[in-house]
Amino acid sequence: MFRAPLLGVPVEERAQRAEEALRRLLGSSQGGALRVSSQKIPQGYSIMIDGVLAFMLTPEDSDPLTRETPEQAVQQTVAALEQVVRETRESRDLSALAKASGYALAATVVLILAIWGLNRARRWLTVRLLQLAHRHAERLSVGGEAIIRKDRLLSLIQRGVTIAYWLMLLVLTYEWVGFTLGRFPYTRPWGTRLNQYLLDLVLKGGMAAIRMLPDLFVALLIFLLARFVVLLVSALFSRIEQGQFEVTWLDRDTARPTRRLVSVAIWLFAFVMAYPYLPGSGTEAFKGLSVLVGLMVSLGASSLVGQAASGLILMYTRTIRQGEYVEIASHQGTVVELGLFTTRILTGLGEELTLPNALILSNVSRNYSRTVQGNGYILDTTVTIGYDTPWRQVHAMLMEAAARTPGIQKTPPPQVYQTALSDFYPEYRLVCQAIPTEPTSRAAVMNTLHAHIQDVFNEYGVQIMSPHYRGDPAEPKVVPRERWAIPPATEETR
């Protein structure tokens, strides 16, 4: 490295002259000794090859940053030139080139054999691990529930073996390239750099992992402590939810959402405490990623937060509960799950509806299970009968239809209300209580009740017809008993 002019010659010209001299001396000394030496002169040191001057070094050429002495600079220069001489001599030696080619060929054969062995080991290991997974997959369960499905486990094993295979193949190919390039003088610097890069990467990664072990231990300790606290809190709230323990400020319905909120709060607190100990938490990349994630959450989570807030309001105000029969936005069904973001209800027709909690909170909801006596839910239906039929008879017929319907409770007894006196007919509303433990659903009970209402009204000759009419029909619009089961209907369909 030339850093100062010499006898009026600029640094760039000194480097150019030195390069030309080296090329001339190395090219013209076929079979010579090519011995590198140095000699002290008034201007500094002269660097010679076989006694011929190649270039000169001055004290100003020493590196001031490393406080290098002129003698050290000369020693390094001589060592570098000796390596150049050795590689130049090697590049002209046919036997050395043949030997290097033999090493490269042997390395290629070893690589091919290693790839063949890796393929066989991959197939054998895949088959062996799949057999073990088939044999022991059922043991990976908690409380009788499988932690991971067998097909997923088999897929994960195959992908894991494939990834390990390709990683080892890449490492072998990388080492083969570095070894082969290092056999020849011209490509030796590339091979040395490749091998040194891989070694530095492994050493740097290993040292970084060793340095991070204490911080990882502290972070792991924090998370384990948080896990222990969550288990204690979950056990307490589970006892409250099962009715084994009672507190004044919490009941069984709100125990589950409160447990989830407390668990989330504990984990968030643990993450905040462990954040400084996580690897890379202090780097600019990690900070930038945290800001990006926070920005994405703040921009896209407004509706999500609204749904969660609506779910909490529904849980803590006890508007609806699991197992109750409700009507929400013209949808009727039994609440099967009250979640933080959505609520699922099962209709009488076997449909499962998922309703956003914000929709439930913004609509009027009817709860048919809240005001009943004991277990059950409210069942109601409306009929309109003309004014020419005595209302007492209508009351009695509706009560008889309810008594014939399985699934309707006798106590409390059904009730009939006249809800309106319209222009052409009164409106009668039958209200009764059904039993939810019966195997029939609410839709099935309602279907049976409507069928019995039609049968009872036909038996007593009362027509269920409430049109806007000008005159009474010549014959009553009723179905006689002998025509109840005309084809294709049968007696069983009653």
Q: Note the pLDDT tens digit of each residue in 117-142.
A: 989 998 898 888 878 777 766 555 54
pLDDT value at residue 485: 66
What CATH number did the domain enclosing 458 receive? 3.30.70.100
Residue 128 and residue 58 in one domain? no
Q: Which amino acid is at 104?
A: A
Nearest CA among 423, 420, 325 for reference residue 378: 325
Residue 57 belongs to some domain of the structure: yes
Dihedral sign computed on CA atoms, order 101, 107, 110, 111: negative
Within 10 angstroms of residue 64's Cβ, the number of other Cβ atoms is 8
Residue 182 belongs to some domain of the structure: yes
Q: With b meaning 16 or more CB within 10 Å and e meaning fewer, what string describes 306-344? A: ebbebbbebbeeebbbeebbbebeebbbbbeebbbebbb
pLDDT value at residue 405: 92
Residue 477 belongs to some domain of the structure: no
Domain boundary among 270, 300, 330: 300
Residue 135 belongs to some domain of the structure: yes
Nearest CA among 272, 250, 277 for reference residue 261: 250
pLDDT value at residue 302: 61
Tell me whether strands 331-338 and 377-384 are parallel, antiparallel or unpaired. unpaired
Indicate the DSSP class of residue 493.
G
Residue 209 belongs to some domain of the structure: no
pLDDT tens for each residue of 168-192? 998 888 888 888 887 777 777 777 7
Bond preceding residue 412 cis, omega within 30 of 0: yes
pLDDT tens for each residue of 250-300? 766 677 777 888 888 898 898 888 888 877 666 777 777 777 777 776 666
The segment with the largest mean pLDDT, out of 6-10, 287-291, 400-404, 464-468, is 400-404
Residue 80 and residue 66 in one domain? yes
pLDDT tens for each residue of 85-108? 777 777 766 777 788 888 889 989
pLDDT tens for each residue of 229-255? 988 888 888 887 777 777 666 766 677
Total domains present in the chain? 5
Residue 408 and residue 348 in one domain? no
Spatial separation of the C-alpha atoms in residues 87 and 39, rounded to whole Å: 24
pLDDT value at residue 249: 64
What are the structure tokens assigned to 436, written together? 């939810």
| Band of residue 381 on the pLDDT scale cut at 50, 70, 90 | very high
Spatial separation of the C-alpha atoms in residues 93 and 97, rounded to whole Å: 6
Q: What is the mean pLDDT of the chain?
A: 79
Residue 270 and residue 235 in one domain? yes
| Band of residue 455 on the pLDDT scale cut at 50, 70, 90 | very high
Domain boundary among 159, 186, 213: 186
pLDDT value at residue 32: 61
- 377-384 β-sheet, strand order: 377-384, 426-434, 415-421
More confident residue, 383 or 346: 383
Residue 316 belongs to some domain of the structure: no
Within 10 angstroms of residue 456's Cβ, the number of other Cβ atoms is 19
Residues 181-204 have a mean pLDDT of 76
Give me the domain span that covers residue 127: 95-186
The answer on pLDDT for 453 being more than 90 is: yes
pLDDT tens for each residue of 15-38? 888 888 888 887 765 556 778 788
| Band of residue 427 on the pLDDT scale cut at 50, 70, 90 | very high
Residue 115 and residue 166 in one domain? yes
Indicate the DSSP class of residue 330.
T
pLDDT value at residue 14: 86
Dihedral sign computed on CA atoms, order 476, 480, 483, 489: positive
Q: Is 465 in contact with 384 (CB distance < 8 Å)?
A: no
pLDDT value at residue 446: 87
pLDDT value at residue 401: 94
Please state, in angstroms and as integers, the Cα–Cα distance from residue 452 to each residue in 225, 346, 378, 494, following that order.
64, 25, 18, 9
pLDDT value at residue 230: 87
Indicate the DSSP class of residue 275.
G
Residue 161 and residue 100 in one domain? yes
> 380 pairs with which residues across the strands?
431
Residue 203 belongs to some domain of the structure: no
Q: With b meaning 16 or more CB within 10 Å and e meaning fewer, what string describes 27-47? A: eebeeeebebebeeeeebbbb
pLDDT tens for each residue of 311-333? 777 777 777 888 788 888 878 78
Q: Say if pTM beats, i.e. exceeds, 0.75.
A: no
| Band of residue 143 on the pLDDT scale cut at 50, 70, 90 | very low
Residue 100 and residue 181 in one domain? yes
Residue 73 and residue 105 in one domain? no
pLDDT tens for each residue of 40-76? 888 888 888 877 788 888 888 887 777 778 888 888 8
Residue 54 burial (10 A CB sphere; 0-12, 13-18, 19+): buried
Please state, in angstroms and as integers, the Cα–Cα distance from residue 258 to each residue in 243, 254, 266, 339, following that order.
15, 6, 12, 12
pLDDT value at residue 145: 47
- 3-state SS of 73-96 is HHHHHHHHHHHHHHHHHHHCCHHH
Domain boundary among 186, 210, 234: 186
Q: Is 43 in contact with 56 (CB distance < 8 Å)?
A: yes
Residue 114 and residue 181 in one domain? yes
The answer on pLDDT for 494 being more than 60 is: no
The answer on pLDDT for 452 being more than 90 is: yes
pLDDT value at residue 19: 86
| Band of residue 383 on the pLDDT scale cut at 50, 70, 90 | very high
Residue 450 and residue 389 in one domain? yes
Residue 125 and residue 71 in one domain? no
Within 13 Å, how many C-alpha atoms sit on residue 144's CB side?
0
Residue 84 and residue 102 in one domain? no
pLDDT value at residue 397: 92
pLDDT value at residue 179: 84
Dihedral sign computed on CA atoms, order 298, 301, 306, 311: negative
Residue 486 belongs to some domain of the structure: no
